[in-house]
Amino acid sequence: MFAHTALRIRTAAWLLSTAILLLLAGCDASPEAAQPSTLERIQKEGALRVITRNSPTTYFQDRAGETGFEFELARRFADSLGVELKVETADSLDELFTRLNQPDGPVLAAAGLVATEGRKSQANFSRAYLEVTPQIIYRNGQRRPTRPEDLIGRRILVLKGSSHAEQLAQLKKTLPELQFEESADVEVVDLLRMVDESQIDLTLVDSNELAMNQVYFPNVRVAFDLGEARSLGWAVAAGKDDSLLIEANKFLEQVQKNGSLQRLKDRYYGHVDVLGYVGAYTFAKHLQQRLPRYEKDFRKAAEKYKVDWRLLAAIGYQESLWTPDATSKTGVRGLMMLTQNTAQAMGVVNRLDPKQSIAGGAKYFALVHSGLSEKMSEPDRTWFALAAYNVGIAHLADARKLAQAEGLDPNKWLDVQKMLPRLAQKQWYSKTRYGYARGGETVHFVRNIRRYYDILNWVTQPQMEGTRVAESGLHVPGVNRTIPRGEPSQL
Ligand code: GLU
């Protein structure tokens, strides 16, 4: 009996230790199972390390800090994971993918990247968050290519390692005479500037890039769309660990559903067509010739009334193209186009004196801004203040009520701007408290100012501190990089 029992115990012990050994050996054979997933690492470190490009469509710094479409979207993602966002920039697309694949590198690339075939070995892409079309860009006045064959014999430059380099290489298989160059030392803004200044004949960029940058380069035009629309996605290193990608996809789906992705697109891309070619050219000219005369006055008034001077300058441009003796038939006058009543209320004696006009406009804007509902948060609050500055607080209240009645959010600018044009239609305004108003114009007013404001933000980045806009030759933004490339940003 005893012997039997002892044997049984020994056998059981042997079996157990063998099982443990096998288990351990099993672990050794697949070390991945023992290692934390990317998502677990992010959560443990409390930080999401994202790599991007330093460009107007992705990530840059203005006086208020870091900004850009990709940055804002990534920040929301980091927030949803409950971790801090750490942004790094790469000097080139090749470097971006190399660093993404380094074991101790950033875990996510958010850089306006097209999910191409060629990138499959280097990256796994998330679901799409923006549809873009590759566009051949030429200079106005030059021969316009209209089909791929027309590209032969022209000097074409694209970003090294870009989806466009891949696309042109593909095209070259059917059009062997096609020549193109790639450069790792430039950004899309540089490519567009080079076309603008006739340093190259053509380039190929994504439609979002052109839309964003058109205003700086009045001479660049779309020749034709090269191929179908494609998707921009976030990228993680190629490999089996899809823990972060799953979260990214969930997040992107969620922001698409709840409208915040659309709001971000609206903020960064929604007003890009506003100026058009002529407007873009005129603005660039006035930025150099007129703004310097009033910049000091804008800054002084901004400081006094705690408003961003660039916003005031943007209002001034929309109102009068920075013309101090502007006069309209309806009796509004001066650089900030104040009505007689507003001028009086703001203590402006001479509306045609630009200093007084700017100070009066600033005071009035600050007053309107501070009188808005506490429920509005920035940046929407600023857009509402602009609308109220233009159409009056009473009509704005009407539009907000219309929004509420439609089940829209009266504290979201995107929702209320849809309602403003209704104030000019009898079927709607007859039911409002304050009646008819040219609400459609207000939408344009706000949209234009936001566009000017964006441009002023971009051209007055921190490294320009102390430099006057005019002296800096800032209508060419490509040369004004502020973030040391490749270095983690200070968050
Ligand atoms: N979207 C491009 C890419 O995926 C980069 C930016 C551009 O050239 O428009 O390579």
Residue whose C-alpha is closest to residue 369's, from 424, 311, 322, 420: 311
State if pTM tops 0.75.
no
Structure token digits, residue 164: 């466009």
Cα–Cα dist 230/443, whole Å:
30
Structure confidence at residue 27 as a pLDDT band (50, 70, 90): very low
- The pLDDT value recorded for residue 215 is 67
- The pLDDT value recorded for residue 331 is 81
Q: Among 92, 129, 164, 214, which residue has the most ligand 1 atoms within 8 Å of its CB, making it the best to mutate?
A: 164
Structure token digits, residue 410: 């009266």
Catalytic-residue membership of 319: yes
Structure token digits, residue 73: 């979207």
CA 305 vs CA 60, 311, 312, 319, 364: distances in Å: 27, 12, 11, 19, 9
Structure token digits, residue 428: 């709607």
Residue 4 amino acid letter: H
- The pLDDT value recorded for residue 459 is 76
B/e letters for 257-296, b = 16+ CB within 10 Å, e = fewer, are eeeebebbbbbbbbbbebbeeebbbebbeebbebbeebbe
Q: Among 188, 193, 195, 204, which residue has the most ligand 1 atoms within 8 Å of its CB, making it the best to mutate?
A: 188
Ligand 1 centroid from CA 478, angstroms: 16
Using the atom order of ligand 1, give the atom closest to the CA of residue 55. 6
Ligand 1 centroid from CA 472, angstroms: 28
111 pocket-lining for ligand 1 (C-beta < 6 Å): no
pLDDT tens track for 262-312: 888 877 775 455 566 567 767 877 888 899 999 999 999 999 999 999 999
114 pocket-lining for ligand 1 (C-beta < 6 Å): yes
356 pocket-lining for ligand 1 (C-beta < 6 Å): no
Cα–Cα dist 337/358, whole Å:
9
Ligand 1 centroid from CA 390, angstroms: 38
Cα–Cα dist 442/438, whole Å:
7
- The pLDDT value recorded for residue 264 is 87
313 pLDDT more than 60 = yes
End-to-end CA, the chain: 73
Q: Which residue has the higher pLDDT, 9 or 456?
A: 456
406 pLDDT more than 60 = yes
- The pLDDT value recorded for residue 62 is 63
Cα–Cα dist 490/378, whole Å:
23
181 pLDDT more than 50 = yes
25 pLDDT more than 80 = no
230 pocket-lining for ligand 1 (C-beta < 6 Å): no
Please tell me the residue having the least CA distance from ligand 1 atom 1.
113
- The pLDDT value recorded for residue 418 is 95
Which residue in the list 319, 378, 441, 465 is annotated as catalytic?
319
pLDDT tens track for 39-80: 999 999 999 999 999 887 898 776 567 888 999 999 999 999
pLDDT tens track for 105-150: 999 999 999 999 999 999 999 999 999 999 999 999 999 999 999 9
Using the atom order of ligand 1, give the atom closest to the CA of residue 204. 8
Among 268-277, 451-460, 476-485, which stretch is predicted with the lowest mean pLDDT?
476-485
